[in-house]
């Protein structure tokens, strides 16, 4: 009996963290078909940076409670010219990961170039190219809002795509999670 590389249903949350805008996108893969369940931008509120981090945490907590993702992908912090900006971005990312952890959702990290290469085929693709491919992969589903939203949906799609490759590697090694063993 052949082993499927995709589980019956996986719902992935993609997060593009930011200290002013945090994009999110939830994509479901069911029997190899992709469906955009929801996406949006959290316009981070707060007078202090601590309040902004709480805004990210609570905003994503509400998204997770509503959509029930089973896994998540978060964009890694890239090397910034301004060290203070990089630190703030890392803290925003930490608030996002903490929101996922509060629901016991496994989180994987993706570099921006890895997301672009997975979605477009080129690691240095322009944002417009990523947006075009995201819409194609989702059958033209509208994605409204700033590019942070499109980036978050791309991260969710990247997560689902690379998940299939991870399952294939497990299959080739002879074991899939859940006790499956490949027949030889």
Q: Which of 29, 75, 126, 170 is catalytic?
A: 75
Query: Which pLDDT tens digit goes with each residue over 132-148?
Result: 999 999 999 889 999 99
Residue 158 has pLDDT above 80, yes or no: yes
* 16 in active site: yes
21 - beta bridge partners? 43
Residue 137 lies in a domain: yes
Q: Which of 16, 104, 144, 170 is catalytic?
A: 16
Q: Which of 71, 104, 109, 148 is catalytic?
A: 148
What is the rounded average pLDDT of the residues 54-81? 93
Question: What CATH number did the domain enclosing 108 receive?
Answer: 3.30.420.10
Residue 3 lies in a domain: no
Work out the number of other CB atoms within 10 angstroms of the CB of residue 30.
13
Strands (E), 21-161: 21-30, 33-43, 71-75, 107-110
Alpha carbon dihedral 177, 73, 53, 43, in 10-degree steps, equals -140
**Number of independent structural domains in the chain:** 1
Residue 2 lies in a domain: no
* 51 in active site: no
Q: pLDDT > 90: what percent of the chain?
A: 72
* 151 in active site: no
Query: Which pLDDT tens digit goes with each residue over 88-133?
Result: 999 999 999 999 999 999 999 999 999 999 999 888 899 999 999 9
Q: Which domain holds residue 73?
A: 9-181
């Amino acid at each position: 009996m052949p082993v499927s590389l995709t589980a019956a249903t996986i719902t992935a949350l993609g997060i593009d963290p930011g200290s002013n805008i945090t994009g999110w996108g939830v994509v479901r893969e069911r029997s190899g078909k992709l469906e955009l369940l929801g996406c949006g931008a959290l316009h981070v509120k707060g007078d202090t940076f601590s309040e902004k981090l709480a805004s990210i945490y609570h905003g994503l907590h509400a998204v997770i409670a509503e959509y029930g993702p089973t896994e998540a992908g978060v964009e890694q912090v890239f090397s910034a010219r301004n060290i203070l900006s990089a630190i703030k971005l890392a803290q925003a990312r930490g608030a996002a990961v903490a929101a996922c952890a509060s629901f016991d959702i496994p989180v994987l990290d993706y570099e921006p170039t890895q997301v672009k290469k997975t979605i477009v085929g080129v690691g240095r693709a322009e944002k417009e190219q990523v947006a075009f491919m995201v819409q194609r992969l989702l059958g033209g589903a509208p994605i409204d809002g700033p590019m942070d939203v499109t980036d978050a949906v791309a991260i969710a799609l990247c997560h689902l795509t690379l998940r299939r490759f991870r399952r294939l590697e497990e299959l080739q090694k002879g074991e899939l999670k859940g006790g499956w063993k490949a027949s030889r």
